[in-house]
Amino acid sequence: MATITALGTYLPVWGTDRARTITGDEDAVTLAVAAGTGALHDIDPTELTDVVIVSRDLPLLEGGNSAAVLAGLGASDHTRVAEVVGGAPASLEAVARADPGTLVIGVDVAGAAGAAAAFCGSDGGEIAPVDRITRSMPVTTRDTAGRRADYADPRLLRVRGVGASLERIDRSEPIVAVAGLAGRDAASVCDGEPPTLPATGASSALFALAALADERRTGRIAAVEQAAMSLATLAPGDIAVVRDERPARRVPSGIFAPGADLPIALTAYDRAFDAKLRLEAARCTNCGTLSYPPRYRCLTCGSEAPTETAKLPRQAEIYTLATVRVPVPGLVSPYTVTLVELGDTGVRVLVPLTGAEPGSVRIGERGRLVFRLIAVRSGVPDYGYGFLPAAGGNPEEVAA
């Protein structure tokens, strides 16, 4: 049994009300950071001890994705991380069995994209595992190369998959929410009208918990992936829910200019990793000047003494910008780059525009920096930050 203190949800801005999609600057890691940041909004960072990421879409099968996720969350690199390959049942079980201090994140990229996270602490709503059925009905498959096969027999899955599992699982109490299924299939499992969820993969179990928390409903939740099924019970309790779900917008048109793969120098990648992904500047211990990226010599007083690390704010205002409309090898054009000033620090950083159409922002516009995939260099995801304008979002996010 675990106690859910807070939930965070995230949907990419692109797509439709029925299904969101990602563009080139988002992947499973950036989605995980966005949802996890919401769940940790009012949590003392020292309370976080473990992170569990559940997905079938993680970008790095070798080397792992944990360091980038921790950096994007601003969490200690001593935090334990588990990367779990799984869907809705795996996410629900990870939450129901989590120890205090654990952040569970479910992420979906293929199909309907989205992410949701649950932080388990000492207060909130208790959740307990009830039952599980593990069966195999592989009507849809995907190999390590990303090739998919769909046997396109929904009746087989409904009758011999979900239906047969329902006959074996504990149905002694009503099911109030279903993750992993949509439409009539979800309604056939649920006792009553199930919450409508934006995804059917690993994130759907956590989206279901957020829907119940919003409505202050409790009861049993079922999580389904093909023929596998898990049950958990959510008890009454106050659970904070932070949603980052802007209205859906159509993917902007653009032209991809083919080009050679961008090379990467792993030594430079390693030196810049913490400062770039954690958004940390160096503060001169002699005069207090901030420099980003960190420098060995202060630009103001010339001191070469050891510096202090200073976290930079995410609030940003556009100082100047440029929209590039000519084809650039390896990129989709047009695209907009912005030079933004961070809070009242005087630090300015050059970052791409994200979550808005190219050329749609102006000098002086305010927003925030969000964790994004900047490029893939020699197969290595290179993460950083993009400028997300406040327009269409929650103004409190910028003022916070």
Q: What is the CATH number of the domain that holds 51?
A: 3.40.47.10
Domain count, the chain: 2
Q: Do 191 and 266 have their domain in common?
A: no
Q: Give pLDDT tens digits for 16-62.
A: 999 999 999 999 999 999 999 999 999 998 999 999 999 999 999 88
Q: Do 81 and 31 have their domain in common?
A: yes
Q: Do 221 and 142 have their domain in common?
A: yes
Q: Do 271 and 219 have their domain in common?
A: no
DSSP 286: T
Q: Do 147 and 49 have their domain in common?
A: yes
Q: Which of 224, 244, 264 is the last residue of a domain?
A: 244
Q: Do 223 and 338 have their domain in common?
A: no
Angle at 102 between CA 96 and CA 105, to 5 degrees: 75
| Residue 44 near residue 103, CB atoms below 8 Å | no
Residue 232, class by beta-carbon neighbours within 10 Å (0-12 exposed, 13-18 middle, 19+ buried)?
A: buried
Phi-psi sector, 152: left (phi>0), alpha (psi -120 to 50), beta? left
pLDDT(292) > 70: yes
| Residue 39 near residue 69, CB atoms below 8 Å | no
| Residue 249 near residue 144, CB atoms below 8 Å | no
Q: Give pLDDT tens digits for 333-369.
A: 999 999 999 999 999 999 999 999 999 999 999 999 9
Q: Which of 199, 219, 244 is the last residue of a domain?
A: 244
Domain assignment present for residue 223? The answer is: yes
Task: Kindly state the average pLDDT of the residues 245-257.
Answer: 92
Provide, rounded to the nearest whole percent, the portion of the chain with pLDDT above 90.
78
At which residue do the structure tokens 């690390």 appear? 309
Q: Do 129 and 205 have their domain in common?
A: yes
Q: Do 106 and 158 have their domain in common?
A: yes
Q: What is the pTM of this model?
A: 0.93
Q: Which domain holds residue 348?
A: 255-279+314-399
pLDDT(76) > 80: yes
Domain assignment present for residue 289? The answer is: no
Q: Do 11 and 158 have their domain in common?
A: yes
Domain assignment present for residue 303? The answer is: no
Q: Do 125 and 181 have their domain in common?
A: yes
Q: Do 163 and 34 have their domain in common?
A: yes
Domain assignment present for residue 309? The answer is: no
Give me the torsion for CA of 357, 359, 364, 367, rounded to 10°. Answer: 20
Domain assignment present for residue 148? The answer is: yes
Q: Do 238 and 349 have their domain in common?
A: no
The HSE-up count of residue 55 (CA atoms within 13 Å, CB side) is 32
Provide, rounded to the nearest whole percent, the portion of the chain with pLDDT above 70.
97
Q: How far apart are the first and last CA of the chain?
A: 33
Domain assignment present for residue 31? The answer is: yes
The closest of 100, 86, 299 to 203, measured between CA atoms, is: 86
